[in-house]
Amino acid sequence: MLPTPLVLALALATAGDDPIPPVVHSVSDISQTFTFYMDGRFHRQYLDGVGRDARNWGSLEHLDLENVNLLILTAGDAHIPYTEAALDHVEDYVRDGGTALIMADGQDPMPPGAALTAHFGATLTTSSVTPPLETTPAARRLIDRDHEWVFRRGTVLELSRKWTVHLRDEGDRPVFAARDLGKGHVLLGSRGLFGSRPDASDPINAEAWTPLLVHYATSKRIDPDLPHNSTWAEHERELGGLILEFHDGTERYADAVAAEYKTVHPHLVAITGVEPSEGMIKRLLILPTGGGGFSSGQRIAIGAWWGNYPERRYPMVELIGHEAGHSWVLPHAEPLWNEPIATYLGIQVGLRLDMDEAQQTLDKQIARGRALDPDFTTIDPLSPDAPRDLIWGKSYFVFEELERLHGPGALAKYFRTKRELLPKGGRNNYTMDDCVAVWSTAVGEDLFPWFASLAFDVDESRTSLWPR
């Protein structure tokens, strides 16, 4: 995964210099299931300029909703059911005036969100929505009747009479609806009505959602001067220099994942010949997802049930190796192969643990690269249109060849030399020319011609690191 500075998310949530005071204080819940989209992109797409968003990383039932008027929830993940206490907490918040938006679809078996919607008298189904969608007369004071709905995919709803349908599909079945409860509101609709891209580039239906969300949420007044902060996972445990972070729902994974990290760490030291860069990997967050992880250098976050962990172990070892590997590479991110080298480190750990899947993963990716460039001498992996499989396959091939030609421990020589040659404080850009210079120094041989023979556009005159 790309390194995502967590500090950014937290800084956004506490920014105090908005030009216009926000009228919406939203909380995007990522405690039931983490996605990069819910970690700030929903806000960028639908509430930018009108609302301030905070994220909930901690157990939902403990969330402080005092100065919040929009709580954004998803269908969740079967590994972490919504607890009864969480359902009651959401209900109390709504009765007290808050608005809850639930974006959810049914499937077989039903996601935890089905219990959440059932709590409010709505049933998720497995029947697919049939576009086009039509705004109902009841919703036309809130939504322009001519709005053309963009819809990805999802399922229709079955609703008690407490609900007002805002949006129907071609079969006259509810796709989005709202209900009052106490002083507040519950909004429920298919996930396919909203964006989902982690780069926030798909703000579908924003012309409809922004005014509608503002309308409902602002029936509860928030005070923009009072706290509205992100809530962090509430548990932490000190593990010999590492702080393990988790919440109630991820607790049953925490110790096992931390033990995997403790297994992986010495192998990474052996492979790279160095400890993680200064100040790196102080915290390990157990992330409520099977979808991967991220690294901000100082903190690595690992998806609790990645690759069907704990049933399967290799994917978890590779992921931890990858995310931790970023902390060995920083503060000078690698050119071109910053992601491939991280996974390569994970693969090397797997090999050292005698895991067959490690060799298979390596071979498969090199084969995919060879399918595009049979002897790896034709396609420049630095060219803007180089295919992903070529970049990854050629990167692995280069690391393997460097080890074969300049090993044993070629990668360790490289990492040690990089630490010696580059200033500690970081550098704006570490280019492939710089990288080849470091490799050349590490192995005591000018490798520019060798890289050039593999179609890399590298040039020693473009780096100050070579010749030594």
Q: How far is the CB of 25 from Zn ion (least distance, A)?
A: 32
Q: How far is the CB of 333 from Zn ion (least distance, A)?
A: 10
Binding of Zn ion at residue 281 (CB under 5 A)?
no
Burial class (CB in 10 A: 0-12, 13-18, 19+), 437: buried
Rounded Cα gap, residues 66 and 4, in angstroms: 29
Stretch that binds Zn ion, among 1-9, 150-158, 182-190, 192-200 (CB under 5 A): 1-9
Question: Toward Zn ion, which CB reaches closer, 101 or 336?
Answer: 336
Binding of Zn ion at residue 1 (CB under 5 A)?
yes
Question: Toward Zn ion, which CB reaches closer, 68 or 336?
Answer: 336
Q: How far is the CB of 228 from Zn ion (least distance, A)?
A: 31
**Where would I find the beta strands (DSSP E) of 274-410?**
283-287, 293-295, 299-303
Stretch that binds Zn ion, among 79-87, 189-197, 339-347, 455-463 (CB under 5 A): 339-347
Stretch that binds Zn ion, among 96-104, 169-177, 207-215, 341-349 (CB under 5 A): 341-349
Question: Toward Zn ion, which CB reaches closer, 281 or 458?
Answer: 281
Stretch that binds Zn ion, among 5-13, 65-73, 77-85, 342-350 (CB under 5 A): 342-350
Sorted by sequence, the CB contacts under 8 Å of residue 404 that are 6+ apart come out as: none
Question: Toward Zn ion, which CB reaches closer, 1 or 317?
Answer: 1
Taking a C-beta distance cutoff of 8 angstroms, is the pair 76, 87 a contact? no
C-beta neighbour count of 389 within 10 angstroms = 17
Burial class (CB in 10 A: 0-12, 13-18, 19+), 448: buried
What token pair was written down for 417?
A: 């030399």
Q: Cα 11 to chain center, whole Å?
A: 17
DSSP bridge pairs for 157: 124
Question: Toward Zn ion, which CB reaches closer, 3 or 106?
Answer: 3
Q: Output the CA torsion sign for 126, 130, 136, 139.
A: positive
Taking a C-beta distance cutoff of 8 angstroms, is the pair 352, 267 a contact? yes
Binding of Zn ion at residue 233 (CB under 5 A)?
no
Q: How far is the CB of 140 from Zn ion (least distance, A)?
A: 46
Stretch that binds Zn ion, among 31-39, 245-253, 338-346, 367-375 (CB under 5 A): 338-346
Provide the 3-class DSSP secondary structure of residue 71: strand
Q: Output the CA torsion sign for 207, 210, 213, 219.
A: negative
Q: How far is the CB of 302 from Zn ion (least distance, A)?
A: 12
Rounded Cα gap, residues 177 and 431, in angstroms: 52
Question: Toward Zn ion, which CB reaches closer, 309 or 448?
Answer: 309
Q: How far is the CB of 342 from Zn ion (least distance, A)?
A: 5
Closest residue by beta carbon to Zn ion: 1
Q: How far is the CB of 340 from Zn ion (least distance, A)?
A: 9
Sorted by sequence, the CB contacts under 8 Å of residue 319 that are 6+ apart come out as: 292, 293, 302, 303, 306, 307, 346
Number of residues that bind Zn ion (CB under 5 A): 3
Residues of the shown chain interacting with Zn ion in the complex, contacts defined by CB under 5 A? 1, 339, 342
